[in-house]
Amino acid sequence: MIGYGYWGPNLVRNFAEVIGSQSLSLSDLSPDRLAIAQRHYPAMRTTTNYGELLADPHVEAIAIATPVSTHYDIALKALKNGKHVLVEKPIAATSTQAAGLIEAADRLKRVLMVGHTFVYTGAVRKIRELVAGNQLGTIYYYDSVRVNLGLFRHDVNVIWDLAVHDLSIMDYVLASQPCAVSATGTSHLPGEPENIAYLTIFFEGSLIAHLHVNWLAPVKLRRTLIGGSEKMIVYDDLEGDDKVKVYDKGININHDPESRYKMLVGYRTGDMWAPQIDTTEALRTQVTHFVHCIEKSERPITGGDSGLRVVRILEAASQSMSKRGEVVELDTKGPTA
């Protein structure tokens, strides 16, 4: 395990429970962080030099939870040293880097997985199941809102920080690939990256996606609407209960005035159903899946390719945003640049 900052402790906790802390080695640049980790997991080996982990033949796999700018270098070295790699999202700082990691993992026959954690939640897996089972009919739109309480970052803009979650969910849930992006946004603090952004993502046909991400909201919101010709979904990750609601009716072509009136005064036009959602911690499922893929030499659900697809959109959105919404086509063949 490399990196014990904000997210690393969650990974360590889950790896400790899945494979045992005595099987773990941790590196971090900060001796203080290592001391904290050591207190919780006395059986775990620690070092400030991650090169030791990469060089250690007993180390089979490397999990990387360091700043995004370092993902590519560390992951590439790890792959070249014959390690399987789990890297935090986004997989790399550019699509060129992401493509490079995929190429290396393929060539060296190592597992390359990206930590698209939301994909491993019960809610998102249920949504994927409903969409893949064609319960929604033709998908018309994917609309999500992910807004936060003024927690600014200085290294990346809000798209790279928050939209990465929604893009990884969308990549998993929808069957089709996007072809272009138009994004707008701005920064409210001089010299800082954009803290509010709106992404429209175009697909072939009439499917459209839109993300609203914002570091500066009065309330936390996590809501996704998925509209289909047969059914529609409201996915609210903050609901203690009923995270996924499925609504029976899509478009109402019926134009008789009475039913039109009922829709005007009413709130919906069919039954609603909220399936029970598996509440297993997503990171536990993710870590277990990583171990499973190594043992069985299988491709992870969130392999390097999904990491690349997400980074392509992040890049294109940042480009479009700097030009006030000018559309940027997505090259789905190679790296964006």
CA distance linking residue 136 with residue 175, whole number of Å: 13
Question: Are 173 and 225 within 8 A, CB to CB?
Answer: no
Compute the least distance from the CB of residue 63 to its own copies, in Å: 21
**Segment 151 to 210, residues that bind its own copies, using CB under 8 A:** 151-152, 180, 182, 184-189, 196, 198, 200, 202, 206, 208, 210
Residue 57 vs 256, nearer CB to its own copies: 256
Residue 84 has a CB neighbour count (10 Å cut-off) of 24
CA distance linking residue 248 with residue 292, whole number of Å: 37
Question: Are 231 and 136 within 8 A, CB to CB?
Answer: yes
Query: Any idea which residue has 């992870």 for tokens?
Result: 300
* Contacts of residue 167, Cβ cutoff 8 Å, sequence gap at least 6: 211, 310, 313, 314
Residue count of the chain: 337
**Segment 73 to 102, residues that bind its own copies, using CB under 8 A:** none
CA distance linking residue 247 with residue 239, whole number of Å: 17
Residue 272 vs 301, nearer CB to its own copies: 272
Residue 57 vs 241, nearer CB to its own copies: 241
In eight-state DSSP terms, residue 303 is B
Question: Are 26 and 13 within 8 A, CB to CB?
Answer: no
Compute the least distance from the CB of residue 136 to its own copies, in Å: 10
Among 177, 326, 331, 337, which residue interacts with its own copies (rule: CB under 8 A)?
326
Residue 44 vs 62, nearer CB to its own copies: 44
Residue 55 vs 149, nearer CB to its own copies: 149
Q: Which stretch binds its own copies (CB under 8 A): 28-36, 63-71, 92-100, 211-219?
A: 211-219
Q: At what angle do helices 71-80 and 95-108 cross, to 10 degrees?
A: 10
Residue at 279: amino acid letter = T
Q: Which stretch binds its own copies (CB under 8 A): 76-84, 102-110, 301-309, 318-326?
A: 318-326
SS3 143: strand
CA distance linking residue 173 with residue 130, whole number of Å: 9
Compute the least distance from the CB of residue 36 to its own copies, in Å: 12
Q: Give the count of residues interacting with its own copies (CB under 8 A).
A: 73
CA distance linking residue 245 with residue 247, whole number of Å: 7
Question: Are 68 and 51 within 8 A, CB to CB?
Answer: no
Question: Are 263 and 252 within 8 A, CB to CB?
Answer: yes
Compute the least distance from the CB of residue 182 to its own copies, in Å: 3
Compute the least distance from the CB of residue 173 to its own copies, in Å: 16
Among 18, 19, 108, 272, which residue interacts with its own copies (rule: CB under 8 A)?
272
Among 66, 318, 320, 336, which residue interacts with its own copies (rule: CB under 8 A)?
320
**Segment 212 to 271, residues that bind its own copies, using CB under 8 A:** 212, 214, 216-220, 225, 227, 229, 232-234, 238, 240-242, 245, 247-252, 260, 262-271
Residue 73 has a CB neighbour count (10 Å cut-off) of 13
Compute the least distance from the CB of residue 320 to its own copies, in Å: 8
Residue 80 vs 188, nearer CB to its own copies: 188
Compute the least distance from the CB of residue 224 to its own copies, in Å: 11
**Segment 36 to 75, residues that bind its own copies, using CB under 8 A:** 40, 42
CA distance linking residue 146 with residue 212, whole number of Å: 6
Residue 160 vs 247, nearer CB to its own copies: 247
**Segment 130 to 149, residues that bind its own copies, using CB under 8 A:** 140-141, 143, 145, 147-149
- Kindly state whether residue 319 participates in binding its own copies, applying the rule CB under 8 A: no
